[in-house]
Structure 1
Amino acid sequence: MLDEIDRRILDILAANARVSLKELAQEAGLSSPSAADRLRKLEERGVLDGFTIALNPAKVGYPLQAVIRVRPMPGMLHIVERLIQETPEFVECDKVTGDDCFIAKLYVRDMAQLDMILDRIAEKAQTNTSIVKSTPVKRRLPPLV
């Protein structure tokens, strides 16, 4: 379980994963060695799974974001899963219950690129595509209670 200090450390890191250890310690009310020990323990327990960056895809040439629901044809589940994994424009994919097997997010440069990617999948699965207009809730931590 997480205690109040662990939750505070995670909140600080969620706001700025590049915060220095000294700053993290100060904001959490700890010494630097204590903060480092807490971080190490959070990593060892698998609570912290890594540190990453937040990238603006539009600023690096990917202005379109789409959410694709994918329903593989019979016998094609593993082939479609591998195809999604091997297509770098897919930045996230969940295997889900229900009528669809996958819900995936991808970024593309234009509609032609989206069509090209979907055409490769269409031979092996049915897809339903939604273009993302905006993101009112950015990726965030769940409540740490």
Structure 2
Amino acid sequence: MGQDRLDQFDRAILEIVAVEGRISLAELARRVGLTKSPVQARLRRLEESGVIRGYRALVDPIRMGRDHVAFVEVKLSDTREKALAAFNAGILAVPSIEQCHMIAGDFDYLLKVRTASMAEYRAVLAETISALPHVAHTSTYVAMQAVKEEGLTAT
């Protein structure tokens, strides 16, 4: 189901559940201006089609003691498909890597790494990230403050 196949009610439902995933069906129906049955059917369709990928709790990483954030540029020595697949597989096994994006530019990947401290980050960089397949060079940028951090929205 593509974006072009979402009507105003689907978009309204998505905007609300993206922020309030635990909203009751009755309240969601009231807020989008439909009855419960069509809202439930729309939710099921959005879930089955993969537009809604799931529901989860948003845990505050700072309250969990993981307030050190670093962004890491990674340059690979080999960017053929096999090398990219090996690097990607390695990234998936590293819990402290919160996000990984392949980039078109002067480097190949941008990582968001969240740890408890600079010392923990240095260990992750030295022992894990730098040891991933085909890593030739990394550059680290430490975040001083998160001005805006949120999940994906339906807009």
TM-score (norm 1): 0.87
Q: Secondary structure at the match of 2:112?
A: strand
Paired with 1:116 and 1:78, the residues of 2 have a C-alpha distance of 24
The counterpart of 1:103, out of the listed 92, 107, 110, is: 110
Match of 2:153 among 137, 141, 144: 141
Give the Cα–Cα distance (whole angstroms) in 1 for the partners of residues 47 and 77 of structure 2: 40
| Match among 32, 43, 47 for residue 43 of structure 1 | 47
Match of 2:96 in 1: 89
Alignment pair present for 1:128 and 2:139: yes
Percentage identity across aligned positions?
Answer: 30
Conserved 8 A contact 1:90-1:106: yes
Root-mean-square deviation (Å): 1.9
Match status 1:63 vs 2:67: yes
Please state whether the residue corresponding to 1:59 is helix, strand or coil.
coil
What residue in structure 2 maps to residue 53 of structure 1? 57
1:25 corresponding residue in structure 2? 29
C-alpha distance in structure 2 between counterparts of 1:119 and 1:44, whole Å: 41
1:142 deviates by 5.5
Task: Give, in whole Å, the separation in 2 of the partners of 1:122 and 1:12.
Answer: 41
Q: CA deviation at 1:66?
A: 1.2
Paired residue type of 2:153:
L
Q: Quick one: higher RCO (CA 8 Å, sep 6+), 1 or 2?
A: 2
Unaligned runs of 5+ in 2: none
Q: Aligned partner of 2:143: which letter?
A: V
What residue in structure 2 maps to residue 112 of structure 1? Answer: 119
Report the residue type matching 2:108 in the other structure: C
Tell me the secondary structure at the aligned position of residue 74 of structure 1.
coil
Post-superposition offset of 1:73: 2.2
List alignment gaps of at least 5 residues for structure 1. Answer: none
TM-score by length of structure 2 reads: 0.82
Write the distance in 2 (CA, Å) between the matches of 1:98 and 1:84.
Answer: 20
Give the whole-Å Cα distance in 1 for the aligned partners of 2:16 and 2:117: 36
| Corresponding residue for residue 14 of structure 2 | 10
Report the Cα offset of residue 72 of structure 1. 1.7
Greater shift after overlay, 46-55 or 118-127?
118-127
> What one-letter code is carried by the residue in structure 2 that aligns with 1:126?
H
